[in-house]
């Protein structure tokens, strides 16, 4: 079976990409062990790809208009699209198309003119999503039975599986992108409370997939700088370095204000046995395992209580780690994705 896996137009399919791209590369590596896999990557800004060890061969495209000719040259049995169902029109006529959704509908970038043909099902699509919550969203948006949308859980990087244990300090780590929707301002409001004066709130200055900071990023940087016990740090240089951060912090905080497709940060943190606090939006409930707490969104008192509890207790997170690995190790998640892609071939 020859599979063409197409990245989005936001980030290249290489190690500099965001969470979606890294998940796709791990799935691709698993498929490539038994199938013929070709990556089709956009190269925003014209930067050349930086493939990593084990990445399949890649074809680059500069514009959406180049996608159709590239796919016809590859002649795949299946085209695997991600967050872009309307790109099915660029796929060869007799090729099966499998679409995986990683985020909620605004991230799909489907033009209004494309929705009628997608909903009418003029071209059969094999559909999956990274969580049950997102699968229900896909079913509703695309007017298909829920049974037509499989759940293909994403995998985490092996570095998070192998993270060493460490002493934990009074640190709240916010490793998500530096955006309002990730709850940065909520965490800063909690940090200002007198009972958290001795706790350091560490925010990662992660702006991907943007190549330069936006006005929102600059405003949030200034907001972090204005809080005495808040610190902004550069992104980790590798998954292994991020794993060490997880392993040594007091609690990882994901107080998002918009639905997450699933939540890789939550999975990564729990694989490292880090205490975790998330908000109950989108797939994060599915990604949060006891004794970690998934709380109602936009409630500062509840967020403060959950963070204080996580910092003050030393409960074992072994069960949470086990549940993450059972479903989201590269082998487990890759196997599910391979079986789903194989089902797309008649």
Residues 257 and 112 reside in one and the same domain: no
Largest alpha-carbon pair distance within the chain?
64
Query: How far is residue 10 from each of residues 107, 184, 246, 261, measured CA to CA in Å?
Result: 10, 23, 27, 17
Least confident of 13-17, 153-157, 199-203, 253-257: 13-17
Residues 49 and 183 reside in one and the same domain: no
Whole-angstrom distance, CA of residue 341 vs CA of residue 1? 10
Q: State the pLDDT at residue 287.
A: 97
Q: What CATH number corresponds to the domain at position 44?
A: 3.40.50.2000
Q: How high is the mean pLDDT of the chain?
A: 94
pLDDT digits (tens, 9 = 90+) for 32-62: 999 999 999 999 877 888 888 888 999 999 9
What is the mean pLDDT of the segment spanning 282-308? Answer: 96
Residues 302 and 167 reside in one and the same domain: yes
Domain count, the chain: 2
Let me know: does 34 contact 338? Beta carbons within 8 Å.
yes
Domain that holds residue 137: 2-155+329-343
- Which tokens go with 300? 């500062």
Residues 7 and 144 reside in one and the same domain: yes
Band the pLDDT of 165: cuts 50, 70, 90.
confident
Residues 10 and 126 reside in one and the same domain: yes
Residues 21 and 63 reside in one and the same domain: yes
Supply the pTM of this predicted model: 0.94
Residues 137 and 202 reside in one and the same domain: no
Residues 306 and 183 reside in one and the same domain: yes
On the question of pLDDT at 122 being above 80, the answer is no
Residues 150 and 162 reside in one and the same domain: no
Q: State the pLDDT at residue 316.
A: 87
Let me know: does 344 contact 126? Beta carbons within 8 Å.
yes
Residues 193 and 305 reside in one and the same domain: yes
Residues 143 and 8 reside in one and the same domain: yes
Residues 178 and 249 reside in one and the same domain: yes
């Amino acid at each position: 079976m020859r599979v063409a896996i197409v990245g989005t137009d936001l980030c290249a399919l290489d190690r500099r990409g965001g969470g979606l791209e890294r998940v796709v590369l791990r799935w691709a590596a698993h498929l490539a062990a038994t199938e013929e896999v070709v990556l089709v990557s956009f190269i925003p800004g014209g930067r050349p790809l930086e493939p990593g060890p084990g990445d399949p061969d890649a074809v680059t495209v500069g514009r959406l208009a180049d996608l159709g000719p590239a796919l016809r040259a590859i002649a795949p049995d299946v085209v695997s699209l991600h967050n872009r169902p309307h790109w099915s029109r660029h796929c060869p006529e007799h090729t099966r198309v499998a679409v995986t959704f990683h985020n909620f509908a605004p991230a799909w970038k489907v033009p209004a003119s494309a929705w009628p043909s997608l909903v009418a099902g003029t071209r059969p699509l094999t559909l999956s999503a990274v969580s049950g919550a997102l699968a229900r969203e896909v079913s509703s948006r695309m007017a298909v039975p829920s049974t037509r949308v499989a759940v293909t859980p994403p995998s985490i990087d092996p570095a998070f599986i192998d993270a060493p244990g460490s002493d934990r300090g009074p640190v709240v780590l916010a490793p998500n992108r530096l955006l309002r929707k990730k709850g940065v301002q909520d965490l800063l409001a909690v940090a200002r409370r007198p009972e958290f004066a001795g706790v350091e709130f560490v925010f990662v200055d992660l702006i991907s997939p943007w190549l330069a900071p936006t006005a929102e990023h600059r405003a949030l940087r200034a907001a972090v700088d204005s809080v005495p016990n808040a610190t902004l740090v550069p992104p980790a240089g590798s998954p292994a370095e991020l794993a060490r951060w997880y392993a040594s912090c007091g609690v990882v905080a994901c107080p998002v204000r918009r639905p997450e497709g699933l939540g890789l940060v939550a999975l990564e943190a729990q694989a490292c046995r880090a205490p975790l606090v998330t908000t109950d939006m989108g797939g994060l409930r599915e990604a949060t395992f006891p004794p970690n707490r998934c709380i109602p969104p936009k409630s500062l008192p509840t967020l403060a209580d959950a963070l204080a509890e996580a910092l003050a207790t030393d409960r074992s997170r072994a069960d949470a780690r086990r549940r993450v690995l059972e479903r989201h190790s590269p082998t487990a998640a890759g196997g599910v994705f391979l079986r789903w892609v194989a089902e797309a071939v008649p």
